[in-house]
Amino acid sequence: MPKVVIIGSGIAGLFAALKLEKKGHEVIIVTKQRPEDSSTNWAQGGIAGILDKTDGKGMEAHIEDTLSCGDGLCNEEIVRCVVKEAGDRIRDLLSIGVDFEKDGEEFHLVKEGGHSARRILHAKDATGAEIERALNSAVSNSDNISMRSHTLGVDLIQRVHGSPEKGIKGIWCLSLDSGKMEALSADAVLIATGGCGQLWERTTNPSVASGDGLAMAVRAGAVSKDMAFFQFHPTALMAGNKKPFLITEALRGEGGILLDNAGLEKYRNGDSGPESYSFTLESSPEGSLATRDVVARACDQKMKITGADNVWLVTDHLERGKLLDHFPNIESKLNKLGLSLGIDPLPVAPAAHYMVGGLSVDINGRVLMNNELPMPGLYGIGEVACTGMHGANRLASNSLLEAIVFANRAAEHFIANPIENLENVPEWRAEGMIKLIEHAPLVRDLETLRKTMTDDVGIVRSFSRLERAKRMLELLSKEVDLIWKRSTPTRELVELRNLVLVASHITNDATERKENRGLHWNKDLI
């Protein structure tokens, strides 16, 4: 039976593993930390989708909202395909044991920015954690799937090095327990490594989000697409924090309103609801529930103009009992900081959240190379892939949906078109390499990288700032390359090498864009 290596243990990787093992394929999941350490596990809001196959109107509205949020750059064929397959894939999740919130017999549906209707299934305010729990439990019960945790994918092994059209035959990876490099053979490799939020100083992503899979594939000749479109979430908590904590958009879906200092003052002294005082109305009639690009930019602009460190999310006009029932994890986090839902204004600010661009893939998740042909046996699924679903801006809660639809399509494609690799995989070449003792230069380089991306490649950009970032990235790339060529890999080195490469792709794409669309906003183009 074919052997498949999946890199990453978020929703896309685990879902694909279960589909492949059902057909008797041997699956090895390689994951950097514990199986549950993924962006999926941190997803709060939910998964968008129309369950009822006969609800054509509902599907058309979901398609329409996705296209409109994507600001003209979505691939409509892909959007239609994902929305159409949503019901079947969400039913797959249910049969695996995911427990979505119910309201009597029906699922309880919520709304987030850019959605014209309630169509998001959720598990209170910890949807991703519930999905991750159920998928990991099914994976651990399978005899055909083995989980290699604390193992970091380093590079792809091509059948013929430098000839991507000949296909893939495995990966080199680093055991973070033993520090040793290992070659894993595979008939197919599915990259499901998520995004790269660690490029910015403030991110809602876990520490594993360092763009590893994207960098590995690009080094093997894959093409990245739409990298300029990096989504910042408007509402990450700014209280007492070292690490930003996401305040789900579903809270604004239930009526939470964003105010600046002046608006908060007016609201406190006025006699109407907070909506009319929101600065977000200057950007869109949808106010606090406009699409994420619009709201994040409005917050960023307001903070820059006023010099404030945050804006405020107010919920005291809403029914507190309902809020506590729906958002227990947020409430518990807030309580530790002396805050509470339905009472206190919450200090929030945008934070790096989701990589909308990624590896260019076809409708079956096959990763495309420079010549626009797929590398046989190589697939990209989940956040790492750019399918065309999100265009210039991802509609909230469409990412978990896209992940399961494409995980399924990639698995089915490989099942129907198996490839067998008979060759042995080459060992990692370690002769002449030294053990890296001092990691301090890498730490400093990582700080410089994050500062550069935060200052120069953030929510609002300019050509001069982007050029400055490019110069800095060239320097960093040379430094990292020097260390890479003479040292045996460590996690810090592998991640920094990947992050610098991904940062260059983002910055180059942003520099080349001649118009503002969706998440890409260059003030020289206004």
Which residues are catalytic, by number? 292
Instruction: Choose among 499, 505, 217: nearest CA to 366.
Output: 217
Q: Which residues pair with 258 in a beta bridge?
A: 313
Strand partners, 183: 172
Given the rule CB under 6 A, which of 43-51, 263-271, 405-413, 430-438 is the region that contacts ligand SIN?
A: 43-51
CB of 399 to ligand SIN, least distance (A): 5
The CA distance from 351 to 242, in Å, is 13
Residue 291 contacts ligand SIN per CB under 6 A: no
44 binds ligand SIN (CB under 6 A): yes
**Which span sits near ligand SIN by CB under 6 A: 54-62, 246-254, 422-430, 456-464?**
246-254
Minimal distance in Å, beta carbon 520 to ligand SIN? 18
Q: Of the candidates 184, 396, 459, 472, which one interacts with ligand SIN according to CB under 6 A? A: 396
CB of 187 to ligand SIN, least distance (A): 33
Interaction between residue 250 and ligand SIN (CB under 6 A): yes
Please state the closest distance from residue 407 (CB atom) to ligand SIN, in A: 17
What whole-number distance in Å separates Cα of residue 354 and Cα of residue 69?
Answer: 15
Residue 167 found at the interface with ligand SIN (CB under 6 A): no
Q: What is the dihedral of CA 491, 494, 500, 502, to 10 degrees?
A: -100
Distance spanning both ends of the chain, measured CA to CA: 56
Listed in sequence order, the residues at least 6 apart from 516 whose beta carbon sits closer than 8 Å to its beta carbon are: 522, 525, 526
CB 12 within 8 A of CB 365: no
3-state helix, strand, coil in the chain (%, to 5): 40, 20, 40
Binder among 399, 421, 507, 516 for ligand SIN (CB under 6 A): 399
- 252 CB contacts (<8 Å, ≥6 apart)? 112, 113, 235, 258, 288, 289, 313
CB under 6 A: which stretch of 28-36, 174-182, 300-308, 393-401 binds ligand SIN? 393-401
Stretch that binds ligand SIN, among 8-16, 55-63, 90-98, 244-252 (CB under 6 A): 244-252
Count of residues interacting with ligand SIN (CB under 6 A): 10
- Is residue 293 helix, strand or coil? helix
Using the rule CB under 6 A, which residue among 8, 13, 45, 70 binds ligand SIN?
45
Does 248 contact ligand SIN by CB under 6 A? yes
The reply to whether 397 sits near ligand SIN by the rule CB under 6 A is yes
Closest to ligand SIN by CB, 45 vs 345, is 45
Q: Is residue 290 part of the contact set for ligand SIN (CB under 6 A)?
A: no
Residue span binding ligand SIN (CB under 6 A) among the ranges 22-30, 37-45, 143-151, 301-309: 37-45
The answer to whether residue 203 forms part of the interface with ligand SIN (CB under 6 A) is no
Decide: 212 and 193 in contact? Cβ < 8 Å. Answer: yes
Task: State how far the Cα of 472 lies from the Cα of 372, in Å rounded to an integer.
Answer: 30
Q: Cβ neighbours of residue 178 under 8 Å, at least 6 residues apart?
A: none
47 binds ligand SIN (CB under 6 A): no
- Least Å from the CB of residue 111 to ligand SIN: 11
Binding site for ligand SIN (CB under 6 A): 43-45, 248-250, 354, 396-397, 399
